[in-house]
Structure 1
Amino acid sequence: MTTNASREINFVHQAEIMTETIKKELRHQKLYTQYGINPFKKLCPLASKPNAEQREEEEDSMSLEPTKKYLESETENQEYGWISLPL
């Protein structure tokens, strides 16, 4: 095959290739309807409740001032009052 012939793939050839690919996939596809949980893997299948009490550590970090939470200011507005010493 020459290089020009390999470059000239028209839409009909591409459609044929796509239909062959889909037919192969459908021929070898297996439909699984029964699922099971691996008994050897320890997981909690339930999500935590959204209204459950949070840990005290998270609450403490949320109520801290930004200067105690972070080492440096994170925004430009925090820079204005970041190091505030009384005059």
Structure 2
Amino acid sequence: MAARSGEKEPLDAVRLDRLLCERVRKELQCQTLHTRFDVNPLRRVHTIARKPMSWHDAVEEPADDKFLNLIHHAALEPTKKYSEPQTESQEVGWNTTPLVPVDRTDRRLHFPHRRTEITK
């Protein structure tokens, strides 16, 4: 009668074991064992070391200065690349120079850590 009123009957250990066995059986049917592994074709593969005796690696080519400057310029941080921020998020922290010059002798703005008898 408890099932008709909307309340569920409590599960005993036998029913729980039966449900668990059914779940494990269904999971094992869906699982497949992979025994063949390959390199991901979508990922670039880089060679680790060159062959020391190959002739094409030993050929000296002149460096392309324009290309090297382009690579170095791309590696710079945005404040050195651009004169002003390009996005809204770059505006935060764009000006990194302090407004007040740092003076270590001024006790009003510099609070160094001190060792006292209490902190030892």
Output the TM-score relative to the length of structure 1: 0.43
Higher-helix-fraction structure? 1
**Greater relative CO (CA pairs within 8 A, separation 6+):** 1
Larger Rg over CA atoms = 2
